[in-house]
Amino acid sequence: MTEPPPDPSRSDPSPVDPGPVRRSPDPLLLVLAGIAAGVGLIVDREVQTGLYACAATLLVAALLRLALRPRAAGNLVVRSRHVDVAVLLAAAAAIAVLAAVTPFPRSG
């Protein structure tokens, strides 16, 4: 028995090594670091400063989501660009307003 000739439409081209894949770091890591810093301040009894740090981090996240292409924005992409930016800005504003109007006891 002989083997049938290979089908030219199904032939595998020789694999080409594209080289190392270069990926930029995910901007979400920067946002998580900022939020962690804010939470650290809150735990350290600098509640108002920590809340302002969290609000500022969310503002930076909104600006990153607005400025970066979807592929570069990584895990900051959830919905459309406008919805993501609006939600991040609203959360930042809400946290900043709550930090401003809530009376916190002064540490020290």
Burial (CB < 10 A; 0-12, 13-18, 19+), residue 20, is exposed
Residue 57, classified by CB atoms within 10 Å of its CB into exposed (0-12), middle (13-18) or buried (19+), is buried
Q: pLDDT tens digits for 33-63?
A: 999 999 999 999 999 999 999 999 999 999 9
- In tens, the pLDDT along 4-37 reads 766 666 655 556 767 676 777 899 999 999 999 9
pTM as predicted = 0.77
